[in-house]
């Protein structure tokens, strides 16, 4: 049996080991279905095997480690799903995603060491496609498990023109076998994910752990501004149709609309911009922008997207450029199941001695897909200054230990609930 500190140290060591697997030597970049994703998945598979789990990689590239219920042979029997993702953003922090997978493995190791028998199986899921950096749409791994994968996703292409289908084949997955990977709702107890908060609430409150109420409504859009390329030295300012100058106005408009929605936790971000043809002496003719809009409720997010669309038309008309906005990915609010919120709150109270606060997740998670399969619950862990999607992401070893202990207690609460 380990102390909380030892659980934290073990978790930190594994987080660091995964963080060493990157496409680049000086920063953490581990995109979906890349060789580094495969190396990370293999390492996670080794850890799962060492924890006594029955391990396989599914057709969508998700590493799955099952601890069968007593007396049952894998993969039969009802199971609790615990997961998170091992892909990262570009220049990522080390905790976003891997922590949830590692905490699940360490929790099961510890449950075994404590000699605890559970009334259900537990499957740890190391998803690969949560960040959605490589392909335009995201959550294909968890959507496969939830049985809601849109087969047209297989035709998506990355920036190099490689299709999801080909990347999955190269990774060792099987595009033809995805449908068979779906869990049946009646075989599943629920889905639990442990994740860093990625925001400042817990740190400001001086609390290590929190319970998530829901995951925010999210939309991803692709904007294109088409103007007219021309000679930077000869075209007078009055007759230009500069796509980048128009795009700058578009970005400012998006910020203005988002600022007005603070009471709905509305946020909007342009994170990518591509300027064509891209030369210092050519007036930009075309600009491609990404747009990410999120809010605490679906109406606020959909309303903001409509306001942005309207504003784009006005900018286009005034500047003589054409601005289009295409919806790429949409997920409504994913509400956490009340019974899992209660189980997690009781588990955190058991671990820390204090009833935790509840908070909403502005960040997206695999629970947005898993909620279509089963009830979802999330444990948030305090992270330094709320920094995430940044190499400065940081969690103390003591908080890691508390997080793993709270996950163990959550599994035990769920077991008690089911026994009752």
Q: Which residues of this protein are in contact with ligand GLV, per CB under 6 A?
A: 131, 363-364
To Mn ion, the closest distance from the beta carbon of 292 in angstroms equals 12
CB 60 within 8 A of CB 148: no
Q: b/e string for 346-365 if b means 16 or more Cβ within 10 A?
A: bbbeebeeeebeebbbbbbb
φ and ψ of 378, to 5 deg = -135, 140
Nearest position to ligand GLV, beta carbon:
364
CB 368 within 8 A of CB 143: no
To ligand GLV, the closest distance from the beta carbon of 240 in angstroms equals 35
Q: Which is nearer to ligand GLV, 52 or 271 (CB)?
A: 271
Q: Which is nearer to ligand GLV, 85 or 319 (CB)?
A: 85
Helix (H) or strand (E) run with residue 274 in it: strand 273-276
Site for Mn ion in 140-179 (CB under 5 A): none
Partner interacting with residue 190 (select from Mn ion, ligand GLV, none; CB below 5-8 Å by kind): none
Q: How many residues does the chain have?
A: 420
Partner interacting with residue 364 (select from ligand GLV, Mn ion, none; CB below 5-8 Å by kind): ligand GLV
Strand runs labelled E in 129-202 = 188-196
Site for Mn ion in 80-119 (CB under 5 A): 96-97
* CA 91, 96, 97, 99 torsion-angle sign: positive
To Mn ion, the closest distance from the beta carbon of 133 in angstroms equals 9
For the chain, helix, strand, coil in percent to 5 are 40, 25, 35
* CA 149, 334, 157, 63 torsion-angle sign: negative
Please give the Cα distance from 396 to 374 (Å, whole number): 32
Helix (H) or strand (E) run with residue 80 in it: strand 79-85
To ligand GLV, the closest distance from the beta carbon of 361 in angstroms equals 8
Partner interacting with residue 197 (select from ligand GLV, Mn ion, none; CB below 5-8 Å by kind): none
Q: Which is nearer to ligand GLV, 159 or 237 (CB)?
A: 159
CB 40 within 8 A of CB 132: no
Please give the Cα distance from 290 to 250 (Å, whole number): 11
Q: Which is nearer to ligand GLV, 173 or 199 (CB)?
A: 199
Please give the Cα distance from 143 to 179 (Å, whole number): 10
Please give the Cα distance from 294 to 146 (Å, whole number): 23
Q: Which is nearer to ligand GLV, 65 or 364 (CB)?
A: 364
CB 75 within 8 A of CB 58: no
* CA 307, 312, 317, 322 torsion-angle sign: negative
Q: Which is nearer to ligand GLV, 271 or 320 (CB)?
A: 271
Residue with tokens 């809009």: 293
Q: Which is nearer to ligand GLV, 365 or 382 (CB)?
A: 365
Of the candidates 17, 114, 44, 200, the residue with the CA atom closest to the CA atom of residue 405? 114
To ligand GLV, the closest distance from the beta carbon of 91 in angstroms equals 14
3-state DSSP call for residue 261?
Answer: coil
To ligand GLV, the closest distance from the beta carbon of 32 in angstroms equals 12
Please give the Cα distance from 11 to 17 (Å, whole number): 10
Partner interacting with residue 199 (select from Mn ion, ligand GLV, none; CB below 5-8 Å by kind): none
To ligand GLV, the closest distance from the beta carbon of 208 in angstroms equals 21
To Mn ion, the closest distance from the beta carbon of 313 in angstroms equals 32
Q: Which is nearer to ligand GLV, 283 or 363 (CB)?
A: 363
To ligand GLV, the closest distance from the beta carbon of 96 in angstroms equals 6
Q: Which is nearer to Mn ion, 96 or 405 (CB)?
A: 96
To Mn ion, the closest distance from the beta carbon of 354 in angstroms equals 26
Q: Which is nearer to Mn ion, 96 or 292 (CB)?
A: 96
Partner interacting with residue 208 (select from Mn ion, ligand GLV, none; CB below 5-8 Å by kind): none
Q: Which residues bind Mn ion (CB under 5 A)?
A: 96-97
């Amino acid at each position: 049996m380990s102390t909380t500190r030892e659980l934290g140290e073990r978790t930190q060591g594994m987080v660091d080991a995964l963080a060493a697997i990157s496409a680049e030597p000086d920063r953490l970049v581990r995109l979906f279905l890349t060789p580094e994703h495969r190396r990370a998945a293999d390492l996670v598979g080794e850890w799962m095997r060492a924890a006594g789990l029955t391990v396989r990689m599914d057709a969508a590239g998700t590493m799955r480690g099952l601890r069968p219920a007593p007396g049952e042979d894998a993969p039969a029997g009802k199971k609790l799903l615990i997961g998170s993702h091992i892909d990262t953003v570009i220049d990522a922090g080390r905790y976003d995603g891997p922590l949830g997978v590692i905490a699940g493995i360490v929790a099961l190791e510890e449950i075994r060491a404590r000699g605890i028998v559970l009334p259900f199986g537990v499957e740890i899921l190391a998803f690969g496609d949560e960040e959605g950096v490589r392909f335009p749409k995201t959550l294909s791994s968890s959507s496969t498990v939830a049985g809601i994968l849109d087969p047209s996703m297989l035709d998506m292409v990355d920036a190099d023109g490689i299709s999801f289908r080909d990347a999955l084949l190269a990774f060792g997955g099987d595009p033809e076998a995805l449908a068979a990977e779906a869990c049946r709702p009646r075989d599943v107890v629920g889905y639990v994910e442990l994740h860093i908060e990625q925001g400042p609430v817990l740190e400001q409150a001086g609390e290590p752990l929190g319970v998530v109420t829901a995951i925010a409504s999210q939309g991803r859009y692709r904007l294109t501004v088409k103007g007219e390329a021309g000679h930077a030295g000869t075209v007078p300012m009055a007759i230009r149709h500069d796509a980048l100058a128009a795009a700058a106005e578009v970005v400012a408009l998006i910020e203005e609309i988002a600022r007005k929605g603070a009471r709905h936790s509305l946020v909007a971000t342009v994170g990518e911009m591509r300027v064509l043809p891209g030369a210092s002496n050519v007036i930009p003719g075309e600009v491609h922008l990404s747009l990410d809009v999120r809010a605490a409720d679906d109406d606020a997010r959909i309303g903001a997207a409509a306001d942005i669309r309207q504003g784009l038309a006005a900018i286009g008309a005034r500047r003589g450029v054409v601005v289009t906005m295409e919806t790429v990915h949409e997920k409504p609010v994913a509400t956490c199941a009340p019974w899992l919120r209660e189980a997690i709150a009781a588990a955190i109270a058991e671990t820390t001695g204090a009833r935790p606060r509840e908070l909403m997740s502005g960040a997206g998670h695999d629970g947005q897909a898993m909620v279509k399969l089963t009830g979802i619950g999330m444990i948030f862990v305090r992270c330094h200054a709320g920094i995430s999607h940044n190499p400065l992401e940081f969690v103390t070893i003591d908080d890691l230990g508390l997080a793993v202990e709270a996950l163990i207690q959550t599994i035990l609460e769920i077991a008690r609930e089911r026994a009752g």
